């Protein structure tokens, strides 16, 4: 599982079953992995 903190400080988790990032505070706003490829977001595994 991966956690991502984007430039808006939205915490998201990566769901491998759907290959989507899921925003913990707004799960409707799921983003595909490519949406997080910009340099303004950081990801780390846990």
Q: How large a percentage of the chain has pLDDT more than 70?
A: 24
What CA–CA distances, in Å, run from 28 to 3, 4, 5, 18, 43?
17, 16, 17, 14, 20
Of residues 37 and 22, more confidently modeled: 22
User: Higher model confidence: residue 1 or residue 4?
Assistant: 4
Beta strands at 2-5 and 31-32: parallel, antiparallel or unpaired:
unpaired
pLDDT: which is higher, 32 or 11: 11
Average pLDDT over residues 9-34: 65
38 or 18: which carries more pLDDT confidence? Answer: 18
The reported pLDDT for the residue numbered 46 is 47
């Amino acid at each position: 599982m991966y956690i991502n903190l984007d430039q808006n400080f939205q915490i998201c988790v990566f769901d491998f079953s759907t290959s989507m990032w899921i925003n913990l505070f707004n799960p409707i706003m799921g983003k595909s992995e490519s949406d997080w490829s910009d340099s303004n977001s950081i990801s780390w595994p846990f």
